[in-house]
């Protein structure tokens, strides 16, 4: 069982099936985007682009 779990994890880790960032609705996470600084958003975007 453990080897299958590791295999699934590694497969998901290195798969590139997503075309971009996953966007969650505010109802899911409760964070209002207007209360997040533009600098914090920029940092997240740059980190996402560069892996």
Name the residue ranges covered by the structural domains of the chain: 2-50
The pLDDT of residue 43? 95
The model's pLDDT over 25-42, given as tens digits with 9 standing for 90+, comes to 889 999 988 999 999 999
Q: Is the pTM of this model over 0.85?
A: no
The 8-class DSSP code of residue 21 comes to P
- Give the dihedral sign, CA 5/15/20/41: positive
């Amino acid at each position: 069982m453990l080897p299958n779990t590791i295999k699934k994890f590694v497969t998901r880790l290195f798969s590139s099936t997503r075309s971009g960032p996953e966007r969650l609705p505010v109802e899911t996470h409760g964070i209002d985007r207007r209360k997040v600084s533009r600098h914090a958003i920029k940092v997240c975007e740059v980190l996402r682009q560069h892996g």
